[in-house]
Structures are given as C-alpha cells and as structure tokens.
Amino acid sequence: MKAAANPVDNRTAAGEGALQAFVAGYVDTCGFIALFGLFTAHVTGNLVLIGAAIVEHRGGLWGKLIALPVFILSVAASRWLSLALERRGKNAALPLLVIQILFLCGFLGVGLMASPITDFDAPLAVLAGMLGVTAMAVQNTTSRTIYAKYTPTTVMTGNVTQVVIDLVDLAAGRAAPEAGGRVRKMLPAILAFTVGALLSAVAYTLAGFWCLAVPIAVLILLFIRELRRKP
C-alpha cells in the first residue's frame, strides 16, 4: 500500500527541500575537510578518491573503501523501514528524520572523541565517517521516496544540469510547460547546498566538529514542521 503524499504545496516543498539541501552541502563539506576527503552524501565521489589515494599513497583509504557498502546497506535499511511503516499507515518521515538526527549526533560526538584527527584510518575516525555516511544515506532515501516532491537534495550535478537546460529552453522559447516550475523548485536547493558548503568550511575551521550542531538544528526544525503537519 502506498503512503499518502505529504500534504505540502509547491512553495513549502521548495523551502523544505532547500533546508535539506543545506544540510547535505554542510555535512558533505564537513566530512570532506575533517576526514581527509571523505564524501558523506556523494559517496560515489569516494571511488575517484580511492584511485587517487592508491596512486599518490594518501591516507584514509579504508574509510573510503567501506563508505559505499555502508551507504548501500543504510539506504536498504531505510527503505525497508519506510515500507514497513507505510504498510501500517504510519508517517515514515518522522522516524527517519529522528534516525538521521541521531546519526548526525553520533558523527559529532565520535568526531570530537577522535579529534585531532591525523589519520583517517584510525578506528574512531572511520567510525565518525561512517556515522556521517549513514545519516546522509537516510536523507538520500527519503529524498527519493517520502520527499519525492522535493528536488533531489544531496547531489547537485543533476539539478544544475536541468536548471541550465531549462533556462536555455526558456530563453529560446522552446521550453516545456513545466520548465519554469522546475527552475523555481531546483534553484533554491542549489543555492542552499552552496551556502551550506561554504558555511560549513568556515564553521569547521572555527569550531571543529561542533559545527555539526547547525545541520542537527535544521533537521530538528524539519522534524517539528513534519510533526505539526496535518495529514
């Protein structure tokens, strides 16, 4: 049985999608800086870095090697949980937001325990990275299922490509009827992801892993909004 669609209008979907994109850009940048180039949200990028690490004898190889299987298992577990909740008529968004918040809290806590991190192959550093990967795997899953009305919030390549195509088509007078709506939906997410990435770089420099309190607070706000939403 399919769950009822979240009762959100286009403006709300764009705004909440932008907040989730902010979280993705923020957490991905924090992981990349703190953990020797680990991508937490864009895990396929780690495959490129694995090749670079082998050729250039860089550290942090083991964490990048296990990030993809951890991500896959986390997506699978998140989807199974959401399907089980939907079959019981429950709102799967609430528990999955809680799970993402808890894993980000774990990322923050273990990251503080591991600091200063000089070797990403150290057990605590790898554990911190996998907690971040799991948190973002949950967001990737909800972005493509429960929040499918939102634009994709974790990887911006497809969004940027689509926006550029739509803008060119609009300028050429050959745009599809839905092109303008796509631009209005995707552009806030792209901008929010960018702001999140820039802010995270500055915040990590100033506060270390404590900077993760920011995306945790944003997710708590989204949880409260979801809790108050009428079915």
Q: State in Å, rounded, how far the first CA of the chain is from the last one.
A: 16
pLDDT at 108: 97
Between CA 47 and CA 50, with CA 49 as vertex, the angle to 5 degrees is 65
Q: Under the phi-then-psi rule, with left for phi > 0, alpha for psi from -120 to 50, and beta for the rest, what region is 153?
A: alpha
CB atoms within 10 A of CB 195: 15
Dihedral over Cα of 195, 210, 68, 58: its sign = positive
> Is there a contact between 17 and 150 (Cβ–Cβ < 8 Å)?
yes
Q: Both tokens of residue 206?
A: 């100033």
Integer angstrom CA distances of residue 60 from 73, 177, 223: 21, 47, 34
Gyration radius from the chain CA atoms: 18
> Is there a contact between 97 and 222 (Cβ–Cβ < 8 Å)?
yes
Domain boundaries defined on the chain? 10-225
Low-confidence ranges of the chain (pLDDT < 70): 1-11, 52-60, 230-231
Buried b (16+ CB within 10 A) or exposed e, 42-68: bbebbeebbeebeeeeeebbbbbeebe
pLDDT at 15: 83
